[in-house]
């Protein structure tokens, strides 16, 4: 199953439309999307506007791959659960967010080799066409908490050594 998420704060129709069009072309109907507050409705994939946090986590856990905006919650949840994730960042110049912080996030995680990134609809459609290779990849697993070494270093830094 492919789980698509745009986060809970705002719609990201550009991403969802691209996935919906891809599903129509390839006949892939095993797609479920959380589309946010938008009047636009996908025609070829299952969807809901919002998911409660536990339901969101369950959908990520059940997914073969996650396709998402470049929001930290989506990325971290996929990495914690070892799911491959393909992100398309929202862009400030398209008024999809305040600025290009999602572009910066996507570039940072891409440079680490932790995620796949499509920077526009054309690239997203191309990556969706080769989705099987992404699904076969084991997702990176991010521990659910910081390492004891990092916690100790932070405690030293703020002067609260146990």
Report in angstroms the alpha-carbon separations of 41 from 19, 94, 117, 138, 157: 12, 20, 24, 32, 50
For residue 137, the model assigns a pLDDT of 67
Whichever domain contains 14, its CATH number is 3.40.50.2000
Q: What is the pLDDT of residue 143?
A: 67
Local confidence pLDDT in tens for the 162 residues of the chain: 999 999 888 899 999 999 999 999 998 779 999 999 999 999 999 999 999 999 999 999 999 999 999 999 999 999 999 999 999 999 999 998 989 999 999 999 999 888 999 999 999 999 998 877 777 666 556 667 777 887 788 788 888 776
Q: What is the pLDDT, as a whole number, of residue 114?
A: 86
Q: Which uninterrupted H or E stretch holds 16?
A: helix 13-26
Domain count across the chain: 1
**For position 157, what pLDDT does the model report?**
86
Q: Which domain holds residue 144?
A: 2-158
Q: Cβ distance 33 to 2 under 8 Å?
A: no
pTM above 0.95, yes or no: no
Give percent of the chain with pLDDT exceeding 70: 93
Decide the pairing of beta strands 116-117 and 2-5.
unpaired
């Amino acid at each position: 199953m492919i789980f698509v998420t745009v986060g809970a704060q705002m719609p990201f129709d550009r991403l969802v439309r691209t996935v919906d069009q891809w599903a129509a072309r390839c006949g892939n109907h095993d797609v479920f999307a959380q589309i946010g507050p938008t009047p636009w409705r996908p025609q070829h994939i299952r969807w809901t506007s919002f998911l409660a946090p536990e339901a969101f986590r369950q959908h990520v856990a059940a997914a073969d791959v996650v396709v998402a905006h470049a929001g930290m919650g989506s990325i971290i949840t996929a990495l914690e659960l070892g799911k491959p994730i393909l992100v398309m960042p929202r862009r400030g110049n398209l008024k999809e967010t305040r600025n290009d912080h999602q572009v910066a996030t996507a570039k940072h995680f891409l440079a680490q080799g932790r995620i796949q990134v499509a920077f526009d609809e054309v690239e997203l459609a191309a990556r969706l066409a080769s989705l099987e290779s992404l699904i076969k990849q084991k997702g990176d697993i991010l521990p659910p908490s910081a390492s004891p070494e990092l916690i100790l270093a932070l405690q030293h830094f703020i002067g609260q050594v146990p």
